Amino acid sequence: MPLTPSATRELLARLGHEPKRYLGQNFLVDGNIVRKSLALAGVGAGDKVVEIGPGLGTLTEALLAAGAEVWAVEKDRTLFTHLQEALGNAGGRLHLREGDAVKSPLAGLPAEFAAGCKIVANLPYAIATPWLDAVLGGILPRRMVLMLQEEAAQRYTARPGSKQFSAISIFLQSAYAVGAGHKVPAACFFPKPEIESCLLNLERRRAPLVFAPAAKSLIRACFQQRRKQIGSLLRSKLPDGGRAWLGGFSALGLDARARPEQIPVELWQRLDVPV
């Protein structure tokens, strides 16, 4: 069970540790949310699960209790040492790594397990997008249940025509279907974050699309100037190949005067060709 806010304060005091805002250290103190996370991910015995930023180990312990084998990466040295002492290796089912989750997005999980694994994580806001981008550039896990600040979740699931719609929206929605999630009030954490959070429930599509690096770079570049028309953007970004790309948009019935945020995900997908 998660520690209560008072027990969390006491443990942090014993460790001589002040929660670090820049690392997004808001510790979960609500057992219902822990159970909801595992239920959305369908975690069961024998599952291989990746956790990002295990912190004080609340979610880690629940995953282990459900019979999962867990790979977790923790950047904070104090918390990493605490987890080592408190949990050990859980009979060989806990593989704990100290390091940067963006550089190790699957926490050292062997590549042969990546496609069948699940990710259940309370993601720090500062690394959420670069970490997700790293995951989407490799072998795709079959399911992800991510605790995110609501602002990030809205950006990842945004539809064309909205201000939140961006390159990461396209990359994520091309690989994963978004299932029913769950809102998480700030009171479920210690210390309380300033904004609300939510559990984002993602299931890998039957035929997921992973964009080629050249196409990803082009899409990102377009959204960096999102108020410009796609025609002028493509000509400026691809002076030699821009005409071919514009021809592709025209063939799909899209006006070259459209802005990047107005272009449906499906059209971006159909333009995933080597440049």
List, for residues 162-201, the tens digit of each pLDDT value.
Answer: 999 999 999 999 999 999 889 999 999 999 998 899 999 9
pLDDT for the residue 180: 85
CA trace torsion 153, 156, 159, 162 (10° rounding):
80
Q: How many CB atoms lie within 10 A of CB 65?
A: 12
99 plus 163 within the same structural domain: yes
Span of 1-15, 42-56, 209-223 with lowest mean pLDDT: 1-15
What CA–CA distance (Å, rounded) separates 123 from 173? 19
- Output the pLDDT for position 156: 96
d(C-alpha 244, C-alpha 241), whole Å: 6
Asked whether residue 102 falls in the same domain as residue 32, the answer is yes
Q: What is the pLDDT of residues 30-81, one digit of tens each?
A: 999 999 999 999 999 999 999 999 999 999 999 999 999 999 999 999 999 9
**265 and 150 fall within a common domain:** no
Question: Both 135 and 39 in a single domain?
Answer: yes
Strands ordered across the beta sheet of 48-52: 94-98, 69-74, 48-52, 118-122, 143-149, 197-204, 176-184
Same domain? For 169 and 149 the reply is: yes
Distance (Å, whole) CA 263 – CA 267:
7
Containing domain of residue 64, as a range? 5-204
pTM: 0.91
Helix (H) or strand (E) holding 202: strand 197-204
- Residue 275 confidence (pLDDT) above 60: no
Give the CATH number, domain containing residue 244.
Answer: 1.10.8.100
pLDDT tens for 226-256 read: 888 887 887 776 655 556 666 666 666 677 7
Q: Does residue 154 sit in helix, strand or coil? A: helix
